[in-house]
Structure 1
């Protein structure tokens, strides 16, 4: 049958229309085409957001909702409860399924199937934003990239936006921060403590919110060096006053850093108790043993001496300490049966409390209540092992 020119024209038109419909229905859809960005905050610490909160996730959800014929009512409900500012569509999919599972009865069977398909597709899509919130500056290039499998019919694409309109910030250097902190070191080596305070200008920079400034002097649990806690610091320890992350947390947004914000100090010039003269302690221990009415110890010889390194002497404001000294000594034991006196060799320890430091010397208290004697079965090695965490004098 011979077709007329009119019929051929009609058939060609039908082919074009059908082909166009097929092309439109199968071509990938853009989730970025109408995205617009807005910027707020201060230069160097700026933030970005989508204009009218219309994000890439909104577009993805709209495209997939249309593809899977989700009803308008279900679409509105899910948008209100699932579309997050987080750029990861996988989070949106999880939020969507959580809401759906808790409220499944409120959706029609058709909508339930559509929701599962939308969530399934969104789990396969990745959206990456090249900049981090809170750190952008004018002139930065924000690149948003969408990656999706072919089956989702979402277009793989990227768009770049230039940051502008951020307010002028005040630029600070690390030295600008350091000069508004007062660092004090107290105590002795092995029991040192760092105290940090700030002034009014430092408070404007948020330095009063730094952990080491806020710490309570009675709470020594915070660790500020590799292996020592504040309150048990020794000469040579390195203490971090703040680092970049801590400054980022406390610095108000109108300020930005020109250089890296890091401040550490090395502990020095603390009194090394182990190097102080302790002759007066030795003498006090000898006197306590020889004056003892019970045993009347003879010829005490000092074998070992330690300054206690625990809470019992942690009174740095008074510079007072406690020491324990071990002596090799003897006493006389009267043998009534054989009418003789035996000399018994033994070890004895003396504990001295409220010791002071004067002119480079450890000076014992004159109060009898600050002196105590203890018989001990420990030999020299055991005694030293028992006090390995204390400060060794001898």
Structure 2
């Protein structure tokens, strides 16, 4: 009977030791606060309060332990709406932690009211800009929309799908503006320049003719063919940039040869040809000595070898 009483006493003592050990763990959950900011549906949560100071104070008294052994985590910190629940957990890397592992749930509140917009609203403020020539047009990048079509092959009347860029949508959300409805819409391509019977191109070709004649005042220089090259050799996707070149027959000293003359770095702006950055070229693709061709086709083949979109004018 006496042995049984001793056994019970030992068990009680062990239980008290365990309870004593557990009771020495410090609870800091009461010191954890959560600050909510931003707009409804796109709100953010941030931990605050004096919990870290409490953890540091306890851990610095323990040999071989530091505040970095304790983790305080929030299960969701963004994309929040008023009324949502977020859970804060206090965890430890230690088997015997002086900080009590526990958790607490907070209700999201105080987020500002959002406004909504549609893709049509965006199109009114940021209309999609089509640039280039008919059949060879493209969409000018404005970081608002992405398109699903071939960049350099649009024609007037084509239907293309435009989609609001994800960065644009998230950027607006941070300002409290939330997209309502679809982020895509079909629109019609329009406003691309025609190359046939285009007085704007003719005026540039006249300047090229004059330059070619000045080089051969003692001979006869005649333009055989004319071409628009869309893009440039280093940025072929730049559909708002183009060049105009002519293949010229040069009859000098009873010798017939062919040359390429033209302007590069031309731009279409507001329905006009901008030549402010243009470069007059006498040797397309060549530097140094003058390049002649035996026939016009050889010259045209050299233009086509540029890998640019090439359009015959006349």
TM-score when scaled to structure 1? 0.48
Pick from 190, 205, 227 the counterpart of residue 305 of structure 1: 227
Residues 119, 185 of structure 2: 8 Å contact kept: no
Does 1:130 find its partner at 2:75? yes
Once the two structures are TM-superposed, the CA of residue 22 in structure 1 deviates from its matched residue by 5.4
Once the two structures are TM-superposed, the CA of residue 142 in structure 1 deviates from its matched residue by 0.8
Residues 303, 380 of structure 1: 8 Å contact kept: no
The 1:388–1:272 alpha-carbon spacing in structure 2 relative to 1, beyond 3 Å, is: farther
Q: What do the CA deviations read for 1:279-320 (whole angstroms, capped 9, x no partner)? A: 9689967898789532224xx57356234745xxxxxxxx99
Once the two structures are TM-superposed, the CA of residue 263 in structure 1 deviates from its matched residue by 6.3
Once the two structures are TM-superposed, the CA of residue 140 in structure 1 deviates from its matched residue by 0.9
Q: 2 CA distance for matches of 1:276 and 1:30? A: 86
Structure 1: 5+ residue stretches without partners: 70-113, 197-210, 213-222, 311-318, 334-342, 364-369
Q: Which residue does the alignment assign to 1:108?
A: none
Q: 2 CA distance for matches of 1:303 and 1:248? A: 51
Q: Which residue does the alignment assign to 2:291?
A: 376
Q: Which residue does the alignment assign to 2:260?
A: 349
Indicate the SS of the match to 2:220.
coil
Q: 2 CA distance for matches of 1:17 and 1:320? A: 88
Does 1:296 find its partner at 2:215? no
The 1:272–1:17 alpha-carbon spacing in structure 2 relative to 1, beyond 3 Å, is: same
More helix as a share of residues: 1
Residues 119, 183 of structure 2: 8 Å contact kept: no
Residues 259, 299 of structure 2: 8 Å contact kept: no
Residues 76, 86 of structure 2: 8 Å contact kept: yes
Larger Rg: 1
Pick from 236, 256, 259 the counterpart of residue 180 of structure 2: 259
Q: 1 CA distance for matches of 2:54 and 2:181? A: 39
Pick from 294, 311, 314 the counterpart of residue 392 of structure 1: 311
* CA RMSD, Structure 1 to Structure 2 (Å): 5.7
Pick from 41, 60, 69 the counterpart of residue 65 of structure 1: 60
The 1:195–1:331 alpha-carbon spacing in structure 2 relative to 1, beyond 3 Å, is: closer
Q: What do the CA deviations read for 1:256-289 (whole angstroms, capped 9, x no partner)? A: 5263684677672132445566996899678987
Pick from 319, 322, 325 the counterpart of residue 246 of structure 2: 325
The 1:62–1:143 alpha-carbon spacing in structure 2 relative to 1, beyond 3 Å, is: same
Indicate the SS of the match to 1:183.
coil
Residues 86, 107 of structure 2: 8 Å contact kept: yes
Q: 1 CA distance for matches of 2:117 and 2:127? A: 19
Q: Which residue does the alignment assign to 1:74?
A: none
Residues 260, 299 of structure 2: 8 Å contact kept: no
Indicate the SS of the match to 1:34.
helix
Q: 2 CA distance for matches of 1:33 and 1:263? A: 46
Does 1:246 find its partner at 2:242? no
Pick from 98, 114, 122 the counterpart of residue 178 of structure 1: 122
Once the two structures are TM-superposed, the CA of residue 191 in structure 1 deviates from its matched residue by 7.3
Residues 76, 87 of structure 2: 8 Å contact kept: yes
The 1:62–1:326 alpha-carbon spacing in structure 2 relative to 1, beyond 3 Å, is: same
Q: Which residue does the alignment assign to 2:30?
A: 34
More strand as a share of residues: 2
Q: Which residue does the alignment assign to 1:118?
A: 66
Q: Which residue does the alignment assign to 2:190?
A: 269
Q: 2 CA distance for matches of 1:372 and 1:294? A: 21
Structure 2: 5+ residue stretches without partners: 233-239, 274-278, 284-289
Q: 2 CA distance for matches of 1:118 and 1:159? A: 23
TM-score when scaled to structure 2? 0.57
Once the two structures are TM-superposed, the CA of residue 393 in structure 1 deviates from its matched residue by 1.7
The 1:44–1:281 alpha-carbon spacing in structure 2 relative to 1, beyond 3 Å, is: closer
